[in-house]
Amino acid sequence: MSDHRLFELRRLTVRFGSHVAVDSLDLQVDRGETVAVVGESGSGKSVSALGALGLLPAGADIEGERRFDGRDLGEFSPRQWNALRGGRIGFVFQEPMTSLNPLHSVGKQLGETLRLHQGLRGQAAKGRIRELLTQVKLPRVDELMAAWPHQLSGGQRQRVMIAMAIANDPQLLIADEPTTALDVTVQREILALLDDLRDRYGMGLLLISHDLNLVRRHADRVVVMRHGECVEAGPTTDVFDTPQNAYTRQLIDAIPAGRPLPVPENAATLLSANDVGITFARPKPFLRPRPPAFVAVEPLSLQLREGETLGVVGESGSGKSTLAAALIRLLPASGEIHFDGLRLDSLSGNALRRQRRGFQIVFQDPYGSLSPRMPVADIISEGLRFHHPELDASIVTERIAEALREVDLPPDCGHRYPHEFSGGQRQRIAIARALILKPRLLVLDEPTSALDRTVQKQLIELLRSVQARHGLSYLFISHDLAVVRAMAHRILVLKEGKVVEQGQCETLLEAPRSAYTRALIDASSLA
Amino acid sequence: MTSSRRRHLSPITQRRLHVFRGNRRAVWSLWIFGVLFIVSLGAELIANDKPIVMQYDGHWYVPLLVDYPETEFDGFLPTTTDYRDPVVFEQIADNGWMLWPPVPFSYQTLDRDVKGPVPSPPGSRHWLGTDDQGRDVFARVLYGFRLSVAFALALTVGSIFLGVVIGGVQGYFGGKVDLIGQRVIEIWSGLPVLFLLIILASLVEPNIWWLLGIMLLFSWLGLVDIVRAEFLRARNLEYVRAARAMGLPSRLIMRRHVLPNAMVATLTFIPFLFTGAITTLTALDFLGFGLPPGSPSLGELVAQGKNNLQAPWLGVTAFITLSLMLSLLVFIGEGLRDAFDPRHILTATRIPNPPAAGSQAPANRPRQDSLP
C-alpha cells in the first residue's frame, strides 16, 4: 500500500482462554495522523493495542495480521520486538505514578532508553536528555534531571513519560488513556503537547480513550469499540456529526443533561458551617521545632438548604473531599457545624454515632466502598440493623427490597456479592446503603468519576429523582463541571483549600469571575 | 444442599478451597493428621491398664470410667483395684469376664513381668518395646502425641486470640496506641523465654497449665505484626470509612469489616505457630524442664533414646513420630499458604487477568449495566 500507511491491524483477535477480548478488529494509522480508539471500560481498547505489540501476558492468544511500516509483526523475533518497542514505537501509559521507577532519577531513566536503543552515553546522552525535557516543555530542566519521580506532579510525570516515549524518534506513539489520571486543566496541556509533537515529527498517534470530548478535539479518525468489536470507524467529524451506529449515538449523547429541580423558596437551612477549617499537623523533626501545620482547608462558611444541592468543585488536592469528610465529622475540624438545629462539632462518641443516620456519604470508588465478603443485603442493611435493632427480620428484608427498588436494582439480588455487579450497579448499591437510613443529607464524593459516561448519565438521573421524591439535600463533590451543572443548584469552587468563588450554578458557569473557574469550564465538555 | 451452603461461602473462599483441594499432598496430610488425632483422642480405649467393661457375679462394671475398690471383687484392700494383679485377674476371670483394650498398658503402667532387662525390645507383648522403666512405648507415644497436639492447639488458639486482639487494636486506632504498643512489644519480645521457664521449673512444680501460660505470654508476638499491618491497611479502605460514616461503633467495624481481611494472614500463620508449639514442648521435655516426671511426652522419649543407645527402638520411635507429625503439619501449612496466595488463585482459575496497564480489565467485568 501507500507509503503513508504506518501501522495496520487486520482481523486482530485476542482471546484469554474462552473469553474473546478483541474480535477481528481492523485498524490503520497513517503518518502524521491521530487515530483514536474509544469505548467504555471493558470494550477491549487497551487489550487490542497491547495485543498488537505482544505486550500481553502468556495466557493471551493472538490471531490476525499485524503490519508496521510494511513489515509483518507476526514474524518478528524477540530481539526485533525489543528494538521495535521503545525504539520505533513509543508508549505512554495511563498511570504516571507507577510507570516510572521510583528508585531512579528522571535523568537516569531517560538515559537508560537512550543507551539501550541508540548507544548514547556521557555528555552526548546528557545533551539529548536536556533537549527532550525541553521539548516536552518542562521547566528547570537541569534540576529535573536529578529529581526523583515522587518529587514531580502527575502532569510533570506524564511529561517525563512522553519524553521517554519520544526519546528514540518513534514513528508511532501509542497513548493509552494518557490523561485519565490527571486533572482536567493538565489534561489539555498534555494533549496539546502530544499534538504538537506529532506535527513536528510526523509521527502516527494512536490515542486510546474513553473521553469522547477529548477524542473529538484531537483525533483525525475514530474507531468505536464495544465488547471487543469495532462498531463504527471513520473520520472524526463524520462519526460525531452523523453517527451510523446506535451505540455510537448513545455514547455521543451521553453527556449529562438536564437541570436539578428548583428548591422551594421557604426551604429551611439543613446544614450550616461557620469558619470550618481543617489542618493536619506535620511530624516534628528531631531536635528542631515542629513546622507549621498543613492547612488542607482554610476556614470557610457554607449553607445548605433542604432539597438543595451544593456542588463543590476543584482539582485534586484542592480539599474537596477533606471538606466533605470534615462536615460529616469523619475528620476533626475547627469551627462550628450545625445540622438540623444540632451542634455537630460538639458531639462525640455515642451521641454522634446516633446522629449519623441523618447524614450519609457515597464514595468515589465503587470497587472499594463495598465489603467484598458480604452479600449485598447485609451491606445495605448493616446500618439499619445497628440503628434500629428493634426491627424484626421481615421488616428489614422489606426495607432492603424497598431500598433496592429505589435505586432501580432488582429487589431479589440481595443474596449476591458485590463482585457480581458492574461499577454503576455497585454505586447504586452504595446509594441504597445510604438511603435505607432515610438520611436528610447525602454527601456524594465524586460518585460518578469512576464510571463510564453512559452509566454516569443514568446515575445522575437516579440521584435527581431520589432528591425529588424525598427532598434530600446533596453535597456533591466533583471535578467535572458537566456533571455538576446537571446536579447542583449552587457551586463552591475550591483551589488549594481556599474558596475561589461561590454562587448560583447558572450565573457562575456563565460568568465566572476567576481565571481558575474559567480554566475548569474550558477543560470540561460544557462548550 | 451444597448450593445453599455454597451461598454462604464468598466466591474467594470457594476458590481458595478449590486450590487447597487441588493440592493432593496437603489434603492427604490433613486427612492423615486428622484421623491420627481423632484416634489419639480415644487413647484410653486403645491402651489402658484397666478393662473397658467387665461382668462380675452377674453385675456390670465400667472400670474405664469408675474406680472400684478391690473389696468389690472380694479382695482385701479398700484401694482402687489393680486389674493387672494376677490374684485379682484370676478372681475376676473365675467369676465373670473382662474386655481389655488392645494394648493392656497405660502410659505410666510399669510392666513388672517383662522378660529380660528393661528397656526391652519390641515384641508381641510390647509392640514398640518398653522404656528404661518398663513402660510401654506405644502407649506413651499415643498419649504423648495427644498431649502435644492438644497443647499446640490450646497454645495456637490462645495466641491467635491475643495476637489478633492486640494487633487489631494497634492497627485500627494507630497513632499513640500503636506507637506505645509497638515499643512495649519490642521490650517484651526481648525477654528470654527459655530462661523464664527454667527459673519457673525451680520455683514451682511445672504442670501443663504453667507451661501453657508462660508460653502464651510470648507466642502471640509473631502474629501482632501481621494483624497490625492488615488493620492499618484496611482501616482506610472505603467500605470501612463508609461503615464509620454509618455510625457503627469501632468494635463492630473491626469485627465485621476489618477482621476478615486480617484472618487470611492469620490463617497462613497457624501451621507455623502449631509446629513451633510442638517443637518447643518437645525441647523443654528433652531438657527436663517441661512436663512433670511420668507425663507421656515425646521429648522425654527422645531423652531416653539418647541415654539408651543400646535400645535403638526408643530413638527411632521418637524420631519417626516427631518427623511424621511435623511433616504432615508442614504439608498442610504449605497447602494453606498456596490457597491464600492470590497468584495461585489466579492461575488456578479460568481467566487470567489482562495486564494492569489497561485498568479497564474486560475479564473482570462479568456484566454491563444491563439491568433496568
Contact call for A386 and B247, based on CB within 8 A: yes
Contact call for B366 and A361, based on CB within 8 A: no
* A465 in any annotated domain: yes
Pairing of strands A342-343, A473-478: unpaired
Which pLDDT belongs to residue B345?
Answer: 53
Question: Shortest CB distance from B368 goes to which of A354, A369, A422?
Answer: A422
Which residue of A20, A22, A25, A47 is the best one to mutate when testing the B interface, meaning the one whose CB has the most B CBs within 10 A?
A: A47
Contact call for B354 and A176, based on CB within 8 A: no
Report the Cα–Cα distance between both ends of chain A, in Å, rounded: 40
Measured between alpha carbons, how far is A34 from B350 in angstroms, rounded to an integer?
Answer: 37
Contact call for A330 and B362, based on CB within 8 A: no
Q: Which residue of A has its CA nearest to B347?
A: A59
Residue-wise pLDDT tens digits, B306-344 = 998 888 889 999 999 999 999 999 999 888 888 877 666
ipTM over 0.90? The verdict is: no
Min Cα–Cα distance to chain A from B335, Å: 22
CA A401 to chain CA centroid, Å, is: 31
Contact (CB, 8 A) for A96 and A158:
yes
In chain B, domain spans: 11-40+139-348, 49-100
Chain B, window 242-281: residues with a beta carbon less than 8 angstroms from a chain A beta carbon: 242-249, 252, 256-257, 260
Report the Cα–Cα distance between both ends of chain B, in Å, rounded: 32
CA-wise closest residue to B103 among B154, B42, B16, B155: B42
CB atoms within 10 A of CB B91: 17
Contact call for A17 and B239, based on CB within 8 A: no
Query: A98 to chain B: which residues are within 8 Å by CB?
Result: 356
Question: Shortest CB distance from B245 goes to which of A228, A330, A387?
Answer: A330
Contact call for B12 and A46, based on CB within 8 A: no
CB atoms within 10 A of CB B256: 17
Query: B263 to chain A: which residues are within 8 Å by CB?
Result: none
Contact call for A386 and B359, based on CB within 8 A: no
DSSP A122-154: HHHHHHHHHHHHHHTT-SSHHHHHT--GGGS-H
Which pLDDT belongs to residue A264?
Answer: 82
What CATH architecture is B11-40+139-348? Orthogonal Bundle (1.10)
Chain A, window 59-78: residues with a beta carbon less than 8 angstroms from a chain B beta carbon: 59-60
Min Cα–Cα distance to chain B from A510, Å: 34
Q: Does A17 touch chain B (CB under 8 A)?
A: yes
Measured between alpha carbons, how far is B104 from A498 in angstroms, rounded to an integer?
Answer: 87
Q: Which residues pair with A504 in a beta bridge?
A: A490
Which pLDDT belongs to residue B267?
Answer: 84
* A122 in any annotated domain: no
Measured between alpha carbons, how far is A420 from A425 in angstroms, rounded to an integer?
Answer: 9
Measured between alpha carbons, how far is B216 from B151 in angstroms, rounded to an integer?
Answer: 11
Contact (CB, 8 A) for B100 and B52:
yes
The CA–CA distances, whole Å, from B21 to A526, B13, B339 equal 56, 12, 9
Contact call for B359 and A95, based on CB within 8 A: yes
Chain A, window 448-477: residues with a beta carbon less than 8 angstroms from a chain B beta carbon: 454-455, 458
Residue B366 pLDDT grade (very low, low, confident, very high; cuts 50, 70, 90): very low
Q: Does A47 touch chain B (CB under 8 A)?
A: yes
Of A211, A227, A253, which one is at a domain's C-terminal end?
A253
Pairing of strands A229-235, A71-72: unpaired
What is the enclosing helix (H) or strand (E) of A186?
A: helix A184-201
**Backbone angle region of A54, left / alpha / beta, with phi > 0 → left and psi within -120 to 50 → alpha:** left
CA A192 to chain CA centroid, Å, is: 19
Which residue of A18, A41, A280 is the best one to mutate when testing the B interface, meaning the one whose CB has the most B CBs within 10 A?
A: A41
What is the enclosing helix (H) or strand (E) of A237?
A: helix A236-241
Which pLDDT belongs to residue A491?
Answer: 92
Residue A175 and residue A73 share a domain: yes
Burial class of residue B330 in the structure, from the number of CB atoms within 10 Å of its CB (0-12 exposed, 13-18 middle, 19+ buried): middle
Residue A285 and residue A245 share a domain: no
For the sheet containing A204-209, what is the strand order? A89-92, A172-176, A204-209, A34-38, A221-226, A229-235
Contact call for A47 and B352, based on CB within 8 A: no
Residue A273 and residue A249 share a domain: no
DSSP A345-359: GG--HHHHHHHGGGE
Contact call for B367 and A43, based on CB within 8 A: no
Residue A290 and residue A202 share a domain: no
Which pLDDT belongs to residue B355?
Answer: 38
Q: Does B1 touch chain A (CB under 8 A)?
A: no
Measured between alpha carbons, how far is A333 from A321 in angstroms, rounded to an integer?
Answer: 13
Contact (CB, 8 A) for A50 and A21:
no
Measured between alpha carbons, how far is A108 from A122 in angstroms, rounded to an integer?
Answer: 11
CA-wise closest residue to B145 among B37, B249, B245: B37
CATH of the domain at A502: 3.40.50.300
Question: Which domain range does residue A430 map to?
Answer: 269-330+349-523
Contact (CB, 8 A) for A165 and A135:
no
**Backbone angle region of A82, left / alpha / beta, with phi > 0 → left and psi within -120 to 50 → alpha:** alpha
pLDDT values of chain A reduced to their tens digit, one per residue, 527 residues: 456 788 888 888 888 877 788 888 888 898 889 999 988 877 888 888 888 888 877 777 888 888 888 888 878 888 888 888 878 888 888 776 677 888 888 888 888 888 888 888 888 888 989 988 888 888 888 888 888 888 887 788 888 888 888 888 888 999 888 877 777 777 888 888 889 889 988 899 999 988 887 888 889 999 998 888 888 888 998 888 888 888 888 888 877 777 888 888 888 889 999 999 988 888 777 888 888 888 888 999 999 999 999 999 988 778 888 899 899 888 888 989 999 888 888 888 888 888 888 999 998 888 788 888 788 898 999 889 888 888 888 999 999 999 999 888 888 888 888 888 888 888 999 999 999 999 999 999 888 877 888 888 888 999 999 998 998 999 999 888 888 888 899 999 998 889 999 899 888 888 889 988 888 887 776 64
Beta-carbon contacts of residue A407 (< 8 Å; ≥ 6 apart): A428, A429, A431, A432, A435, A462, A466
Number of residues that this document lists for chain A: 527
Query: B10 to chain A: which residues are within 8 Å by CB?
Result: 372-373, 417
| Share above pLDDT 90 across residues of chain B, in percent, rounded to a whole number | 23
Query: A350 to chain B: which residues are within 8 Å by CB?
Result: 249
Where helices occur in chain B by DSSP H, the ranges are: 2-6, 11-22, 24-41, 43-46, 86-95, 137-173, 175-189, 193-203, 208-219, 221-234, 238-245, 250-253, 259-287, 298-307, 312-340, 342-348
Q: Does A20 touch chain B (CB under 8 A)?
A: no
Residue type, B285: D
Residue A279 and residue A324 share a domain: yes
Contact call for A57 and B355, based on CB within 8 A: yes
Nearest 5°: CA angle at B79, between B73 and B85?
60
Residue-wise pLDDT tens digits, B18-73 = 888 888 899 999 999 999 999 999 888 888 888 888 888 888 888 888 888 888 88
Chain A, window 229-288: residues with a beta carbon less than 8 angstroms from a chain B beta carbon: none
Which pLDDT belongs to residue B349?
Answer: 46
Query: A176 to chain B: which residues are within 8 Å by CB?
Result: 357-358
DSSP letter at B73 equals G
Residue B347 has pLDDT above 70, yes or no: no
Q: Does A408 touch chain B (CB under 8 A)?
A: yes
How many domains does one find in chain A?
2
Contact call for B372 and A408, based on CB within 8 A: yes
Of A227, A253, A279, which one is at a domain's C-terminal end?
A253
pLDDT (average), residues B270-286: 89
pLDDT (average), residues B2-31: 75
Q: Which residues pair with A34 in a beta bridge?
A: A205
Q: Does B175 touch chain A (CB under 8 A)?
A: no
Contact call for A41 and B365, based on CB within 8 A: yes
Count of CB contacts below 8 A, A vs B? 143
Residue A375 and residue A243 share a domain: no
Measured between alpha carbons, how far is B350 from B90 in angstroms, rounded to an integer?
Answer: 70
Contact call for A420 and B7, based on CB within 8 A: no
Which residue of A373, A388, A404 is the best one to mutate when testing the B interface, meaning the one whose CB has the most B CBs within 10 A?
A: A373
Of A223, A253, A283, which one is at a domain's C-terminal end?
A253
Give SS3 for A189: helix
Q: Does B324 touch chain A (CB under 8 A)?
A: no
Where helices occur in A30-74 by DSSP H, the ranges are: 45-52
Min Cα–Cα distance to chain B from A434, Å: 8
Which pLDDT belongs to residue B292?
Answer: 83
* A67 in any annotated domain: yes
Measured between alpha carbons, how far is B372 from B352 in angstroms, rounded to an integer?
Answer: 30
CA A54 to chain CA centroid, Å, is: 27
Contact (CB, 8 A) for A150 and A93:
no
Residue A458 grid coordinates: 443514568
* A153 in any annotated domain: no
* A290 in any annotated domain: yes
pTM for this entry = 0.74
Measured between alpha carbons, how far is A323 from A480 in angstroms, rounded to an integer?
Answer: 17
Residue A279 and residue A207 share a domain: no
Q: Which residues pair with A342 in a beta bridge?
A: A339
Measured between alpha carbons, how far is A400 from A475 in angstroms, rounded to an integer?
Answer: 24
Give SS3 for A234: strand
Question: Shortest CB distance from A417 goes to which of B11, B241, B364?
Answer: B11
CA atoms within 13 A on the CB side of A57: 13
* A207 in any annotated domain: yes
Min Cα–Cα distance to chain A from B361, Å: 6
Residue B4 pLDDT grade (very low, low, confident, very high; cuts 50, 70, 90): very low
pLDDT (average), residues B144-165: 93
* A147 in any annotated domain: no
Residue A327 grid coordinates: 462536615
The CA–CA distances, whole Å, from A297 to A346, B223, B253 equal 20, 39, 28
Q: Which residues pair with A67 in a beta bridge?
A: A8, A72
Measured between alpha carbons, how far is A61 from A285 in angstroms, rounded to an integer?
Answer: 55
Which pLDDT belongs to residue A3?
Answer: 65
CA-wise closest residue to A223 among A29, A2, A482, A35: A35
Q: At what angle do helices B11-22 and B24-41 cross, to 10 degrees?
A: 90
Contact call for A363 and B241, based on CB within 8 A: yes
Chain A, window 118-157: residues with a beta carbon less than 8 angstroms from a chain B beta carbon: none
Contact call for B360 and A45, based on CB within 8 A: yes
Q: Does B366 touch chain A (CB under 8 A)?
A: yes
Contact call for A47 and B354, based on CB within 8 A: yes
CA-wise closest residue to B92 among B65, B60, B114, B67: B60
Residue B353 has pLDDT above 60, yes or no: no
Residue B7 has pLDDT above 70, yes or no: no
Question: Shortest CB distance from A368 goes to which of B239, B247, B350?
Answer: B239
Nearest 5°: CA angle at A209, between A208 and A212?
135
Contact call for A42 and B11, based on CB within 8 A: no
